[in-house]
Structure 1
Amino acid sequence: MFFADEASRGLGIELVEHGEGTAVLRMTVTPAMVNGHRIAHGGYLFLLADTAFACACNSHGPVTVAAGADIVFVAPAREGDVLVARAEERARYGRSGIYDVSVRRGGELIAEFRGRSRSVREDTAREAPGTTTKESR
């Protein structure tokens, strides 16, 4: 799924680790990602965390999308900072799941994200280029 995600890859986000219910991604804050306060725009931090969440919740196989998410910004990130987002599954029940993502710069916590996922029926999901569904295998 990550390799078909042009938005995330276009921003230089890298997939570092990926396992069942987990994912680790990395992003360097570029000059285009800072706001008028010269700190990383919160939307980019959310996008990094959301992408880690997406990789973790889609690791089980069925097409899974966000049902909701929120983020708490703890400390500012700045141009040149290398940020690492670590997503971990907290619970899965039926077609729903809860995932937490910590965004860090080195050992310092920058943001905490919680995502709520929902698996969708395969016949309702559209196949993305470069991916496969049961029907296309």
Structure 2
Amino acid sequence: MSAVDEGVVEAMFGEPSLAWFGFDVIEASGGCATVRVTPTEEQANGTGFTHGGVVFALADQTFAAAAISVLGRSVTADAMIQYLSPSKPGVLLTAVARTTFHDDRRAVIDVDVLMEERTIAVYRGTARAVRRN
């Protein structure tokens, strides 16, 4: 792991889903994040491609890391994904997030999911800061 904000470490590294999916947080700071996974055969759909839910979860986890790095504790207000090409189990997927807008309460973040050098999905989400009572 390189530059991962302490707030991201505190918020995400206790999440069971991080290990369950096999996600590796490479970077998360300043509104940007990179997360990788090599999908397993168990994460394939009936056609033999990586299940779209795994690709979405990778994009969403990367989005969350970027959001936490600018907002602190936050939740997803909305998210959408466009699948451009299928991916294969056993081939590394890398999700790269960048914040395109943020203020003190919300952030809009775009995520590209890459298989090798090719973009296979694009995701956009809005995060909302959550304040503790």
TM-score, length of structure 1 as denominator length: 0.86
Report if the CA contact (8 A) 2:71-2:104 is conserved: no
**What is the DSSP-based 3-state SS (H/G/I as helix, E as strand, rest coil) of the residue aligned with 1:59?**
helix
Report if the CA contact (8 A) 1:27-1:82 is conserved: yes
Q: Does 1:84 align with 2:94?
A: yes
2:104 and 2:66 map into 1 onto residues whose CA distance is 16
Report if the CA contact (8 A) 2:43-2:54 is conserved: yes
Q: Does 1:7 align with 2:41?
A: no
The Cα shift of 1:61 comes to 5.0
TM-score, length of structure 2 as denominator length: 0.88
**What is the DSSP-based 3-state SS (H/G/I as helix, E as strand, rest coil) of the residue aligned with 1:24?**
strand
Q: Aligned-pair RMSD on alpha carbons?
A: 1.1
Percent of paired sites with the same residue: 33
The Cα shift of 1:87 comes to 0.6
Q: How does 1:1-137 map to 2 (within 5 A)?
A: 1-60=11-70, 62-123=72-133
Report if the CA contact (8 A) 1:21-1:59 is conserved: yes
The Cα shift of 1:5 comes to 1.6
1:114 and 1:69 map into 2 onto residues whose CA distance is 6
2:91 and 2:131 map into 1 onto residues whose CA distance is 39
Give 5+ residue unaligned stretches, structure 2. Answer: 1-10
Moved over 6 A (4+): none
Report if the CA contact (8 A) 2:99-2:108 is conserved: yes
Q: Deviations over 1:98-123 (max 9, x none)?
A: 00000001110110000111001122
Which is higher, the Rg of structure 1 or of structure 2? 1
Give 5+ residue unaligned stretches, structure 1. Answer: 124-137
The Cα shift of 1:48 comes to 0.3
